[in-house]
Amino acid sequence: MLSSLYGRLSPRSYGTLCALMVGFVNLLVFLSYSAHVFTVESVLHSVHDREPNRVGPHDGYYGMAVSNAFYMLSSILIVPSLSNYFRCKWVLVLCSLSFIIYFLSFQYLNRYLYFICCAFFGFSLSAFNIGYSGYLTEFSTSESLPKSQALSWGITNVSVFVAGVVNFLMASVNSGVSSSKYREYSEGEIRVFFGIEAAIAIATVVLYSMLPNKEVEGSISHSHERPESVKEQIVEMVSVLVDRRVIILIPFYLYIGLFFSFWVTIIPTTFQFTMVLSKNVFVPIYYGAAFTAGSVTTSALIMSLSSRIHNLCCKPLMIFTLVLHLSIFAITIASTPQWSTVRPNDEEALLIQPS
């Protein structure tokens, strides 16, 4: 029934529908992802304070390093090969299955199990990025891709605000439980929180499997000839990696990885390790709302201006992003206590005191 409905839609309407649907499922994926990375270092720090032999005080950061390493390896060696044999929506299903394994590990938390499951977490991020990007090319042409990406990603980024609400509710419910001056997580709170995360990941497995998979005539993937063997795929991938244009962009890719870790893990952890902010239950909502407002506004601008300004997503957007990021770093350095990224403290910031 649904396939016949999709067949009656025009390519433009079908592309918009697919962008909306994958954006909604991505919202659920990134809801669980964002809610967890906002807190994982603080969660493991709390467990270490109760049971020092169970996990290390900074295993959240070390786990992020493990997941980033496996993300890189999966993106180079594993997921591209899988995408040659599976439709992209099934690669996204594999992403959600790996998330389930990772979230369930918090029910039996110890450092060795955690690091092993961080490898699954890195694989899931790789599967998400490659599967999502590939799925966009199945229903988008070169002209419609910026709009499809902006629409789906704008919906996805609402998840950061919802994750802030989730963390607010957690903090509100447990605000009177701990006598500590800093935010701490009880064993029961950890089990319930990550159990809900696993349940959301299970739901996304079902939803990803239900995504439409009709390939649009003239789409980017339709015009690309798939390699017939793994050897051909490796040769093609290596030829892309050594392309001069890709090599020029290596510093950009390195920076994106660093900035992503900065805003999604280090900044939320810094808030929880700063005494004056750690007990303020509204901080996660403020952070999530600000990020969501910026993401949705930027997505709307790209959708409306991409057809009017030539190469909007290249130099114009890069220059704007450069100015914005420099401002972010200046404000962060001026308002963050020196040791708040690694341990709870009540020191003063350099210039602007958090309150």
The phi-psi region of residue 354 (left if phi > 0; otherwise alpha if psi is between -120 and 50; otherwise beta) is beta
Tell me: pLDDT of 1 over 60: no
Q: From CA 170, how far away is CA 220, in angstroms rounded? A: 43
| Phi–psi pair at 257, nearest 5 degrees | -60, -45
Tell me: pLDDT of 62 over 80: yes
| Domain contains 346 | no
User: Which residue, chain included where needed, has tokens 């994958």?
Assistant: 22
Number of domains making up the chain: 1
Beta strands in the chain, from DSSP E residues, in sequence order: none
pLDDT for the residue numbered 225: 67
Among 156, 159, 25, 141, smallest CA distance to 92 is for 25
Tell me: pLDDT of 3 over 70: no
| Domain contains 345 | no
Q: 330 CB contacts (<8 Å, ≥6 apart)?
A: none
pLDDT for the residue numbered 223: 65
pTM for the structure as a whole: 0.80
- What amino acid is encoded at 16 in this protein? T
| Domain contains 106 | yes
Over residues 172-181, mean pLDDT: 61
Tokens of 25: 């499922």
CB 197 within 8 A of CB 35: yes
- What amino acid is encoded at 225 in this protein? E
Specify the length of the chain in residues: 355
261 or 63, which is more confident? 63
Quick one: pLDDT band at residue 121, thresholds 50, 70, 90?
A: very high
127 or 159, which is more confident? 127
| Domain contains 347 | no
Q: How many CB atoms lie within 10 A of CB 13?
A: 11
Asked which of 18-27, 89-98, 237-246 is least confident by mean pLDDT, the reply is 237-246
| Domain contains 35 | yes
Over residues 52-57, mean pLDDT: 85
Asked which of 9-13, 81-85, 201-205 is least confident by mean pLDDT, the reply is 9-13
CB 200 within 8 A of CB 31: yes
Q: From CA 11, how far away is CA 4, in angstroms rounded? A: 14
Domain with residue 65: its CATH number is 1.20.1250.20
Over residues 187-209, mean pLDDT: 92
Angle (CA) 169 111 48, round 5°: 60
| Domain contains 342 | no
CB 218 within 8 A of CB 141: yes
What is the extent of the structural domain holding 250?
2-335
Share of the chain above pLDDT 70, in %: 88
| Domain contains 355 | no
| Domain contains 160 | yes
